[in-house]
Homo-oligomer: A and B are copies of this chain.
């Protein structure tokens, strides 16, 4: 936990501000100032060109390339991996005055200022360019991606000569020449380019995955001259403007990007027609109009999701940045989208989604954007077929969900993770259960959830096995959430979640049987389920081995864990971290050190199933053994620490949650944002300090307040209303924004909330 903040941005409740450009931070800022709208993501690079360190990154959800992996010769080990591919730079600009081009790596400049307005989604940047001959040109940039229509985006440049009048040439276009940095080459074949009066379009296909991307733009402004230029994989307009001293000349562009990926309903022809239509209708939009729609979207969004913190501007800025990124990354914009571990902000983790989606991210959407939550689960339904193929490759029946994926196919080339980690599959079941628990959306469960549950249960029944004496069922050769215990038997989390999944499946089946006998029979028939199979699941669930020591109420992380050599993690030299880079690979796996919560993760996900004594004993046993080498780990510990009223410890774990990327704690923000860690930061406040629990019939809260805060409030969508929870040093206040009557538990007592604020005193023990 020796993580140290690297403060660079200016503190502000609603803005991320960079004053005076420091090239050392250029790539960190590219990540920090990333914009996205689930469909597309664009890093905060300098669109006017920059010869310093930069990763010009543009990513489109579900648009990926594939690369072969040297075949292992073993069954179930993948021989191909997929990764999100760096795509068209639709902000491309070059600004030239009398043959001199601006480039912040070479040019003189002053008054640099960049700010991302979290309230509106606008990214603004400005500076004064000092030309070699002393002439000064004030440049102001604005960009945004539309949150209303995810295909649209806008860019604005304002050019004001401070001490001269003259001509300026702006070359603006759509650039498909970017390389994918991890692969080291460009991965696009251009199939079509077109241009007309003030507009450009370009279309390209991925090399091997049969996907297409179309990008078009329309320029608003009054150039003196316009020349179309076609370069390799690039379409450009050379726009010449006459500038007048002290007068701003403005160029805007409206961008429309379309993609054809695996989930596109139609063929290439359909897509081409759609692109043509987009080309024709591009003129209908104006920059200001889509900007207005976007700021309106954000305004509405903040109404239901803002977290306000009183007396802690850094965390205030931090948590709003996190909420902003959650909305940017995903909001149910298109079918088949995923939440990559880095969102759409970089190439790291290949744009792959992990089981973090259901365990860390889904709660945010369940309580802010049900459509998005549903879409997330729909992705697993859409890719059920791939999960079934994967199960087959692993000699299992049913469906085995990939540990890392973009298309539904397993992309993790390390077999020890891809073949041994069952938590992606049980997390999907957990996600369905969690969603259904809050929404009571029975139709969804029947149509989308149950087919998944059946196949995951089938996998669970065939992947596990009976102990030698046939007395208990369990999972052998698995890796639980804690990736520092590689290939173990009866991992507690895996067994527990396996049992949970089977029981939930049986429960859903049973309810269906009770309520809709015919539908039930039809379902069994169409899914080829015999009573015998259901019976088997029931026995397995009943006999599932849960390693647990009654005398101290501690769950054993896996069979044999308690006997493992002990390691004093505080004695590991700081320079040994991250251990993956400094320790012999096998050495990591030979002691009781853990990387991230495992038993404790189970205790968070199904918190209400455990007594406070169990939570305490397990927390106190496992926490000292955890090195938190996963960025998700501290928040989980923080939430449980609050529950145990270990307020200082809880705050210590929380400390960098909201500002993980802003303060570059892991020193790798340059690669992209830690999106799922950002989700955990939200949980840390709502589930942690707010003490919310959503894993039982009634939503409950046990609000606490960190010592350093004057107060805080958060809002969640619940039962078609917005529930506002405010906490100050003395009291917690609950209010239903639209007046719906909401039954909740506060400190275990039923409280009925309406449109009037209800006060509950914060007990002394809950004051941090």
Contact = CB atoms under 8 A, between A and B. Distances in A.
A395 B565 contact: no
Contacts of A486: 477, 487
Given A394-B587, A586-B419, A467 B580 contact: no
Given A487-B486, A487-B589, A476 B583 contact: no
Q: How many copies does the complex hold?
A: 2
A684 to B, nearest CB: 30
Contacts of A582: 75
Nearest to A393: B584
Nearest to A564: B468
Interface in A460-482: 465-469, 476-477
A587 B475 CA distance: 11
Which residue among A70, A72, A465, A559 has the maximum number of chain B CB atoms within 10 Å of its CB?
A: A465
A415 interface: yes
Interface in A352-395: 393-395
A590 interface: yes
A390 to B, nearest CB: 10
A584 B394 contact: yes
Interface string A560-578: 1011111000000000000
B476 A75 contact: no
Interface residues of A, number: 43
Contact of A415 (B420, B563, B585): B585
A565 B467 contact: yes
Which residue among A395, A486, A592 has the maximum number of chain B CB atoms within 10 Å of its CB?
A: A395
A526 to B, nearest CB: 28
A704 interface: no
Nearest to A592: B468
A27 interface: no
A565 B466 contact: yes
Contacts of A75: 581-585
Interface SS majority for chain A: loop
Contacts of A560: 489, 559-560
A591 B465 contact: yes
A394 B584 CA distance: 5
A49 interface: no
Q: Which 8 A-B pairs have the closest CB atoms?
A: A465-B565, A76-B584, A74-B585, A476-B590, A395-B584, A477-B590, A419-B586, A487-B487
28 contacts: A73-B580, A74-B584, A75-B581, A75-B582, A75-B584, A76-B585, A76-B586, A76-B587, A394-B584, A394-B586, A395-B584, A396-B584, A415-B586, A419-B586, A465-B565, A465-B590, A466-B565, A467-B564, A467-B565, A468-B562, A468-B592, A476-B564, A476-B565, A476-B590, A477-B586, A487-B487, A489-B564, A559-B560
